Amino acid sequence: MKAKDMILISIFASLTAIGAFIRIDIGYIPFTLQFFFCALSGVLLGAKMGALSQIIYVAIGLLGLPVFSKGGGLSYVFKPSFGFIIGFIAAAYIIGLFSKKSNSFITMFFSQILGLTVLYIFGVIYMYLSMNFFLEKPMAFINIIKAAVLPFIIADIIKIVLVSIIGVKIKPILRNISLI
């Protein structure tokens, strides 16, 4: 791996951490900009490097640095929202896989819709298991969706549109200067 790749991966891991601190607390899942930077990492860096940036973000948080929206450390795996954090890795990979070679708004948009769907699947399943088995606070699957997906869909679609616009504008420039 080249030094520029390591720097880009580190930048996006850092941006995702910064996105965690731009938050509005609502229910079990806070509204943050983490997905925005996760999606941008996939669009600009591609599947492998985008996912690696998110792996580093997750690893740093689990090692104890307070980079998640409500802190850090290994105990974070017991939080109902941790599935979304794991889902960032898969989402960045999926987004990068389907948008890496394209400069098309439509391709970037739909790759992010797919990545967001994967993120929601990780998050909802983890939250369901966490609430019903680990925390012993029974919650119906539909109520998990109402708490963890529905309040965020519109904001996440707006993030997807913004990332697609940024991707269309910046990706060709970064390619021309051989950064990606």
pLDDT at 94: 99
Strand-pairing partners, residue 71, are 68
What are the tens digits of pLDDT across the range 87-141?
A: 999 999 999 999 988 899 999 999 999 999 999 999 999 999 999 998 989 999 9
- pLDDT category at 23 given cuts 50, 70, 90 is confident
- Full-model pTM: 0.94
Selected residue with higher pLDDT from 123 and 1: 123
Overall CATH class of domain 3-176: mainly alpha
pLDDT at 24 over 90: no
pLDDT at 27: 67
Read off the tokens for 122.
């990780």
What are the tens digits of pLDDT across the range 29-82?
A: 778 999 999 999 999 999 999 999 999 999 999 999 999 988 999 999 999 999
Nearest to 102 by CA among 16, 161, 180: 180
Q: Which amino acid is at 108?
A: M
Cα 170 to chain centroid, rounded? 20
Read off the tokens for 82.
């941790």
Q: DSSP states of the chain as a string? A: --HHHHHHHHHHHHHHHHHHHS-B--TTS-B-SHHHHHHHHHHHH-HHHHHHHHHHHHHHHHTT---BTTB-SGGGGGSTTHHHHHHHHHHHHHHHHHHTT---HHHHHHHHHHHHHHHHHHHHHHHHHIIIIIS-----HHHHHHHHTGGGHHHHHHHHHHHHHHHHHHHHHHHHTT--
